[in-house]
Structure 1
Amino acid sequence: MTERRQRLQAARLYLVCDEQRDEFLAAVLRAGVDVVQLRMKDAADAEIVAAARRFAHAAAQHGALFILNDRPDLVAETGADGVHVGQDDMSVADARRVVGADLLVGLSTHTPEQVDAANALDLDYIGVGPVHVTPTKPGRAAVGLELVSYAAEHATVPFFAIGGIAPDNLDAVRSAGAERIAVVRALTEAAEPARMARRLRQMISPASEARVGWA
Structure 2
Amino acid sequence: MSDPFEGDFGREARPACQLYLVSPPTFDLEAHARALERALAAGGPVAAYQLRLKGVADAEVLAAAARLAPLCRAHDVAFIVNDRADLAKAAGADGVHLGQEDGSVAAARVLIGHEAQIGVTCHGSRHLAMEAGEAGANYVAFGAFFETGTKEVRHRAEPAILRWWTALSPIPCVAIGGITPANCRPLVEAGADFLAVSGAIWNAPDPAEAVRAFAPVLA
TM-score tier by shorter-chain length is 0.7 to 0.9
What are the within-5 Å matches in structure 2 for residues 33-52 of structure 1? 33-52=46-65
Deviations 1:75-111 (A, max 9, x none): 2321211111011111111111110111111111111
Deviations 1:13-34 (A, max 9, x none): 1011134522101111112322
Residue of structure 1 equivalent to 2:182: 168
Give the whole-Å Cα distance in 1 for the aligned partners of 2:91 and 2:189. Answer: 37
CA RMSD of aligned residues (A): 1.8
SS at structure 2 position matched to 1:8: coil
Give the whole-Å Cα distance in 2 for the aligned partners of 1:126 and 1:141. Answer: 15
Given the alignment, which residue of 196, 209, 212 partners 1:182?
196
Q: Runs of 5+ in structure 1 lacking a partner?
A: 206-215
1:22 aligned to 2:33? yes
Deviations 1:14-66 (A, max 9, x none): 01113452210111111232210001121101100000111211101111110
Work out whether residues 84 and 102 of structure 2, in 8 Å CA contact, stay in contact via their aligned partners in 1.
no
Work out whether residues 85 and 108 of structure 2, in 8 Å CA contact, stay in contact via their aligned partners in 1.
yes
Give the whole-Å Cα distance in 2 for the aligned partners of 1:197 and 1:126. Answer: 22
Give the whole-Å Cα distance in 2 for the aligned partners of 1:192 and 1:176. Answer: 29
Runs of 4+ in 1 over 4 A off after TM superposition: none
SS at structure 2 position matched to 1:147: helix
Residue 73 of structure 2 aligns to which amino acid in structure 1? Answer: A
Aligned pairs, number: 202
> If the length of structure 1 is used for normalisation, what is the TM-score?
0.86
Give the whole-Å Cα distance in 2 for the aligned partners of 1:150 and 1:38. Answer: 29
Residue 182 of structure 1 aligns to which amino acid in structure 2? Answer: A
Give the whole-Å Cα distance in 1 for the aligned partners of 2:75 and 2:195. Answer: 19
Given the alignment, which residue of 131, 156, 159 partners 2:173?
159
Residue 198 of structure 1 aligns to which amino acid in structure 2? Answer: R
Work out whether residues 166 and 172 of structure 2, in 8 Å CA contact, stay in contact via their aligned partners in 1.
no
Given the alignment, which residue of 105, 111, 126 partners 2:118?
105
> If the length of structure 2 is used for normalisation, what is the TM-score?
0.85
Per-residue deviation at 1:189?
Answer: 1.0
Give the whole-Å Cα distance in 2 for the aligned partners of 1:184 and 1:131. Answer: 14
